[in-house]
Each structure stands twice: as C-alpha cells, then as structure tokens.
Structure 1
Amino acid sequence: MKRLFLIFVLLINGCTSAPDGVTPVSKFDINRYLGTWYEVARLDHSFERGLRDVTADYSLRGDGGIHVVNRGIREETGEVSEAIGRAYPVGESSVAHLKVSFFGPFFGAYVVFELDPEYQHAFVSGPSREYLWLLARTPEVTEEVMTRFRSRARELGFSLGDLIIN
C-alpha cells in the first residue's frame, strides 16, 4: 500500500515539472501577468478540442494563488464552455513556473518559457511537449511574433504538425 501511494505521489508531482530543456522565465511579475489573455495558437488536446475564441482570465485569490477562468466557444453548437481553476507557483513566485488545477487535487505544469518585456505575448508549455500555447493580450499577433513562436517551439523540440491557429 505504501508503495502504491509513493507511485501516486510521484506521478502527481511529475505532472508539475517542466519538460526537459524548457526553462521558465525568471524575473516574472505575476501582477503584470494577471488579466485577460487570448489563445492565438495551441497544440490540440482533449480538454480544448472543438473550441475557438479561447481566453484565459487570471486574477489573484485570497490564499495567494491565482484564480483561472478559461472560456471558449464550442464550434459545433456556438455555446460558451468555461473551466474554472486555480494556480500556484511551483517554487519562487518570481519564476514563471506554476502548477494549475481544474480537477480537485490534481495539478499540471504551466510554464511560461518566453514573455515579452511588456507582457503582451507569452509562450507557454504544459508538463510535456504535447502542450503548447501562444497567448497574447490581443486576439492576433504580428507575423514576427508568430515566426518567433514557431522557431522557439521547434528549437525546444515541440512538434508543430497539429498546431491550431485561432
């Protein structure tokens, strides 16, 4: 029983780790990161499949964490889909490596590996190279930002064959 519990704990904690070689931004200011972000591009995954016009809203929680509200429109029905979660720094709050949960005690990694100095666009990874997002303060970015995103993602070993551009 103790062994099974240890395996469970290791699996849960492993989901909050950054992928090898993906380094979170340092000198991160969570207060500047708060607010609304638009999903400009993402790798496809089950929990966002069929959604368009996805946004993420971040605000401070009373317990020092971050309140997360993700919204998108279901392409088939036009209905709004919403997921509410919470996030906390994995280590130092000045490092852009968070653990986020939408499902009870289960957390996954949220790693900002590139962020422009004005906090206008962010390149984000999950716990593996299967999760990748380009977020921005506006629904569209310049071609220069999109090119930088693709280049940086390829450099870090992300496969962009299934990249969805919103």
Structure 2
Amino acid sequence: MGRWYEQFRYEASFERNMDEVTADYSLNADGTVKVINSGRRISDADGFRQSVGKAKVADPANAKLKVSFFGPFYGDYWILDHDDDYRWSIVGEPSGRYLWVLTRDAHPSGEALNNLQARVKALGYNWSLVRRTKQ
C-alpha cells in the first residue's frame, strides 16, 4: 500500500510519453485495492492525468494481482521481484508485454537504479525497450 514512483517501464499506449508517474494503493473495505495511477504527459501543459482502478488478489502465494481500469476487464499484474523491505518492486505480466519498475523513493541512487536494471535484464526483459521515467 502507499505511494510508488515509476522509474522504468515498457512504453504502453495508455502511458505513452508520460513522466512523473506514480501509483497509489489503498485498501478498500471489501478487501480489494484501490489503484490511482497519475502522471504528466510531456506535451500536456494542463497538468496530471489520473486513472483510478481496482485490484484483487489472484494468487496470494505468488504475489499475483488482477487489475482493472476498464469495468469488468482485468489484466494480470504480477510482482516479479522486490526488495525484502519493499523499497522497490518489478512488475509485469505473463506475456512479457508490460513492465514497470517502482520504488518508494522518487529519486533513488544511481547504484539502486543500476541494480534494478540488472534485475530487469536477469528476468529476461529486453533493456532496449525500457523507457526511463523522469520524476
């Protein structure tokens, strides 16, 4: 739960050209998780855009969520790797089409970012497709 700052991602149409991307998670009364993704489109002088969604646990033993931003349509959102203290998390889904690298700090150290880059590569993701998110 709480705020996460996106550091890297595979570019997706719904997030194209966005920076200052954050994800805020909070627990709903029914046990689902409220997800608020925010970011600023580079060309948008009007400010931030926001999407509100809902997540439910699909497999608690393996950190797999189902997330919906579009009504009854849920997508896979798997925590592939994380820090023991949850200072960072690498998130993707089974096809390898999506990737997000999230941290608790908006501006982690260069050493931390290099470590995350190595972990992303070790998971088999193509680093040439990764976009750095400006915070």
Taking structure 1 as the reference length, the TM-score comes to 0.74
Residue 86 of structure 2 is aligned to residue 119 of structure 1: yes
Taking structure 2 as the reference length, the TM-score comes to 0.90
Q: The residue matched to 1:141 in structure 2 has which SS?
A: coil
**Separation (CA, whole Å) in 2 of partners of 1:63 and 1:143:** 39
**Counterpart among 65, 68, 87 of residue 55 in structure 2:** 87
Task: Please list the CA deviations of residues 111-159 of structure 1 after superposition, one character each: whole Å capped at 9, or x if unmatched.
Answer: 1111112211111113421211110111122233222222222222211
Instruction: Give the aligned residue type for 1:152.
Output: R
In structure 2, the residue matched to 1:134 is: 101
Q: The residue matched to 1:145 in structure 2 has which SS?
A: helix
**Separation (CA, whole Å) in 2 of partners of 1:105 and 1:77:** 29
Residue 16 of structure 2 is aligned to residue 60 of structure 1: no
The two structures, once aligned, show a CA RMSD in angstroms of 1.4
**Separation (CA, whole Å) in 2 of partners of 1:75 and 1:82:** 14
Residue range with higher mean Cα deviation, 145-154 or 130-139: 145-154
User: Does the 8 Å contact 1:45/1:131 carry over to 2?
Assistant: yes
